[in-house]
Structure 1
Amino acid sequence: MPEANARFADHSLEEITLGRLLYYDPILSGSKTVSCASCHHPRFATGDGVSLGLGDGGLGLGPDRRIDPDNSPEQRIPRNAPALFNLGAEEFTRFFHDGRLEADPTRPSGLRTPLGADMERGFASALAAQAMFPVLSGDEMAGHYSENDVAQAVRQGVLTGEGGAWSILSARVEAIPQYRKQFDAVIGERSIAFADIANVIAAFIAFEWRADNSPFDAFLRDGTPLPAAAMRGMDLFYGAAGCSACHAGQFQTDHDFHAIAMPQIGPGKAARFERHNRDVGRMRVTGNAEDAYRFRTPTLRNVTRTAPYGHAGAFATLDAVVRHHLGPIASLRRYEASQMVLPTPAFDTDLAVLADFDEIARIAAANELPSQSMSDADIADLLAFLETLTDPQSLSGRLGVPETVPSGLTVD
């Protein structure tokens, strides 16, 4: 069983409060309509409450988000929006469902990212760098084709350096007097670099959604007893059910990648020129066939609030995803689209893989999780234990949603 010994980075109040404003400010999206909070909102436990979200071209929040008829999205965001709890802990060094961004001290930037040698320096952590990659995604924050200067830079592949997408966004922030004044207190009077924006947003995320004061944490610290059902569930979790083989450590993740036959819905993770709807997970990063359909083990903190579940958000309930773990291949083959939570209208790609029997067979063949039997009572006990991982303060956040932001744009 884990010990309560995670380490979190310390940040100044100036960094945190500045990061809070930028996190909720649509100024960082190409068309100035999407903020970090559009897909990671405290109302939905730092996710968006849907299987696959709508970024640029969407209006509203969560399951109520809808298509802007004047700026329709090209597709849904290919993967589920993961929760942000405890990402400021030093144990978290790999990000995104496929781990395509991670700390790497052998590289000049200290990071291995999709930008390779073009990655800029100055990011204080992998979390900071991760927080700023969605602004380069047309589906998420950059925008479509050449509808704005950021989208145009992204389409041309000019991401970093002078005239790049990051530089354009930095100049926007620099031009707002209140942001310039607040950055003076953090970095001095030099020009604002994009890494500076990323660093303060990461500071806010680390502070706002630190989740280490749950009933389970109290049990670890001083033996405060858990309810009887939760104690039985904890014995199963760390014992016969084998959950802790992957969901290890204080935050119930081994930070590794596993193939467990998760159903895949939506457009898949592909470049614009590719004509498939597949998502091969970690293999897309490493190029190794053995990594096919492997995805990062999620942390389970506040897990009872972070539905839907899976890299594509295929399961709407925690009970359903727990039962999937008991027989992954059988669950994959009988998966029904009614378990999805998708904003309307439908896209042609929503069910593409579910109708591709060859792809379903490949996902099943990669599964590494053995089947096991478990009674309904045992599952109920497991769910009772998972409920004890809930930290109420982290769910609401410590500072909350600001009413206004310095750009004057609308706050979600």
Structure 2
Amino acid sequence: LLAALFLLAGLLLAARDAGLPVRISPSLDARLAFQMQRAGVHAPTNAPAPSPELVKLGEALFWDPELSGNRDIACATCHLPTFGGGDGLAVSIGAGGRGLGSLRERASIREFVARNAQPLFNLGHLEWQNRFWDGRVFVDEAGRLHSPASDRLPPGLESTLAAQALFPVTSREEMRGHRGDTDTFGQRNELAMIDDYTLTAIWQGLMQRLLALPGYQALFAAGYPDLDPAQWDVAHAANAIAAYEISAFTFADSPFDRYLAGDRAALSPAARRGALLFYGKAQCAACHSGPLLSDQQFHNLALPQIGEGKGREQPFDLGRARETGNDCDRFAFRTPPLRNVALTAPYMHNGAFATLPDVIRHHLDPATGLRQYDPDRLHPTLELHNGPEQQAAILRWYTPIPTDGLRLTDAEFADLIVFLDALTSPSARHLEHLTPASVPSGLPPGGL
């Protein structure tokens, strides 16, 4: 059906552009089909389904605080199914924090994690080429994985998603903790004693922890039945975590996805008008393009500096420039995908906005949005660096984006919001059932 609409829309619009008489006005569906075709929209490609046993191992690893230095935080702590695969915070609270979701509090002596926890929805599609807000894990055209670990990246990783899973466990702020820390049981945190850049030693220490537990010995044996236990390494753990994330967080039943599959009734008239704006006048698809609704490129959107920043450039977080060394990449961050975006607030790399209308308004005039940013919704102990000097530094490297200066009527604005909501899968709205009753370590699933 959509192919026929593509053809009809193309013929009608080509005839109009050629100055030929066109007596039939293209339907909303025909115009939308044409715009979506121009934007390269199609259903994303699924990876092969992992085995149930591998998913079960990945589930345990994802939820178990045993993977953190202090045994107090799990992958799930910052990527909760009940918070849209994030944690509901502008920027995350890592090692040393207590509580889950938006109620989580940090230890007074610890920094916030520098960036917003990215949602986990639909991250297993084969079109994905890079990971993290700054793209520091990526695959090149020859299929080779690249990462901050360079040649220390363990062999056998099956995807960029698996490679990504290796790095939060090495970060002191996120999961590993700091020298001198003790764990939940009062024991010395041995992972925190390892030097920061000896990643292999950190990963080996983590595997020693896991394989000392009978529950993980059984899960690894089931997940990798053809391997001798002496061959199990951190790449197998990372592949299992990726398998679980793909199995648990991939959804294709949103109204938008059903429309792509040929169900014309899946999108309401308002959602179709919003989609026509998204792929047309509003130019959202200039960046949120293709099957992932992301160009996987990096853009400076003139966002305020929230939090302590990252690395030597504190209080700034220079984003992509930290990886490339190119000044033109300062304050640029990867375009986020949009499936289930209505569930994943707060938004942007630093959680600057609590609602989708706020995000859209900022895109219409980023420079003014930066200057007039209202920090009232931020955590009371979270620092905002948004004085004239900081604003000037960010705007120096800002290049106007396609939406800058765009005018939308109230009706168009409302239709655009309706379309963004139509990217939500009903199956993703209630994921409480994903929380396991227990994990092999016996620690609370999801962290303390």
- Does TM-score exceed 0.5, indicating one fold? yes
Q: Deviations over 1:119-178 (max 9, x none)?
A: 2222111100101210011111000223211111144x3221xxx111111011111112
Q: Which amino acid aligns with 2:328?
A: E
Give how far 1:106 is off: 5.6
Change in 2 beyond 3 A, CA 1:60/1:294: same
Aligned to 1:204: 244
Equivalent-residue separation in structure 1 for 2:155 and 2:324 (angstroms) = 23
2:44–2:125 Cα contact (<8 Å) kept = no
SS at match of 1:338: coil
RMSD, matched Cα? 1.7
TM-score, normalization by structure 1: 0.91
Tell me whether 1:97 sits opposite 2:128 in the alignment: no
Aligned to 2:100: 61
Aligned to 1:381: 415
Equivalent-residue separation in structure 1 for 2:308 and 2:278 (angstroms) = 34
The aligned length equals 393
SS at match of 1:363: helix
Q: Which amino acid aligns with 2:444?
A: T
**Counterpart among 327, 332, 339 of residue 370 in structure 2:** 332
2:321–2:331 Cα contact (<8 Å) kept = yes
Equivalent-residue separation in structure 2 for 1:174 and 1:204 (angstroms) = 19
Give how far 1:362 is off: 2.2
Q: Which moved more, 1:372-381 or 1:29-38?
A: 372-381
Q: Which amino acid aligns with 1:324?
A: H
Tell me whether 1:37 sits opposite 2:76 in the alignment: yes
**Counterpart among 259, 267, 285 of residue 244 in structure 1:** 285
**Counterpart among 297, 317, 325 of residue 256 in structure 1:** 297
Give how far 1:224 is off: 2.8
- Bigger radius of gyration: 2
Aligned to 1:181: 218
Aligned to 2:258: 218
Q: Which amino acid aligns with 1:115?
A: A
Give how far 1:398 is off: 9.6
> What are the equivalent positions in structure 2 for 1:18-37 lying under 5 Å apart?
18-37=57-76
Equivalent-residue separation in structure 1 for 2:241 and 2:430 (angstroms) = 18
> What are the equivalent positions in structure 2 for 1:9-158 lying under 5 Å apart?
9-68=48-107, 72-104=108-140, 110-147=144-181, 148-155=189-196, 157-158=197-198
Tell me whether 1:231 sits opposite 2:268 in the alignment: no
Tell me whether 1:310 sits opposite 2:348 in the alignment: yes
SS at match of 1:86: coil
Aligned to 2:334: 296
Q: Which amino acid aligns with 2:223?
A: V
Q: Which amino acid aligns with 1:77?
A: V
Change in 2 beyond 3 A, CA 1:5/1:409: closer
Q: Deviations over 1:183-213 (max 9, x none)?
A: 1122233232011111100000011100221
SS at match of 1:59: coil
2:56–2:219 Cα contact (<8 Å) kept = no
In structure 2, runs of 5+ residues without a counterpart are 1-35, 182-188
Give how far 1:104 is off: 3.2
Equivalent-residue separation in structure 2 for 1:269 and 1:194 (angstroms) = 27
Change in 2 beyond 3 A, CA 1:330/1:152: same
In structure 1, runs of 5+ residues without a counterpart are none
SS at match of 2:229: coil
Q: Which moved more, 1:398-407 or 1:167-176?
A: 398-407
SS at match of 1:67: coil
